[in-house]
Copies of this chain bind each other. A is one copy, B any other.
Amino acid sequence: MARPREFDEEHVLEAVMERFWTAGFERTSAQDLVDATGLGRGSLYAAYASKEGLFEQALLRYRKRARAHVDKLDAEPSAIKALRILMTDVVDADLPRPHPRGCLATNSAIEMAAHNPRIAELVRENFGILRRGIEGTMRRGQATGELSSNRDAAALAMFVFTAIQGLRVMARALKADDRQSLFSVIEQTLLALR
């Protein structure tokens, strides 16, 4: 051991994630990352090897968001209410002004998954966290009688999860005044669970 690191890894990765999230991988340059983190090029490359390595770290960090969503799901007793809160949160989180940033995992699925197997795997892992959380909520709702028990919980969870991916795409493409139609989609999705 010799000289210790001077930078705060939490802060650096947060800034990196933010940049990749709004601009995407290709539109974010190494210079952008230097500016965003305040580190020198040498330090950045010594610690994370490459731009792709940095992106992987950002995606790993993004898992916390998925886990937070799952925690919030588990905190609400009513399954339907929990799923409504989840989807409303997703729409609200993906639509900040001035530019909607969508979901980092969804964006990465489109932009990177076909070109980088490592990233594709991380995206699927991110997806899995939320999908399994939804499935748990679904089973809970079936146990309490809130949801019909004669339907496949895993299939229903995949259905809701896919709807969320659709909402995230629409959030990135629609104008702000179409926001209301996304909430209508949420209600139609919840209606389908009864």
Contact = CB atoms under 8 A, between A and B. Distances in A.
Contacts of A102: 110
Interface in A80-115: 99-102, 106-107, 109-111, 113-115
A122 to B, nearest CB: 10
The oligomer's copy count stands at: 2
Interface stretch (A6-14, A30-38, A53-61, A182-190): A182-190
A23 B114 CA distance: 9
20 contacts: A24-B26, A24-B110, A101-B114, A106-B110, A106-B169, A109-B169, A114-B172, A124-B173, A155-B187, A158-B184, A158-B185, A159-B184, A162-B185, A163-B163, A163-B166, A164-B166, A165-B169, A165-B170, A166-B166, A169-B169
Interface of A: 22-24, 26-27, 99-102, 106-107, 109-111, 113-115, 120, 123-124, 127, 152, 155-156, 158-159, 161-170, 172-175, 181-182, 184-185, 187-189, 191-192
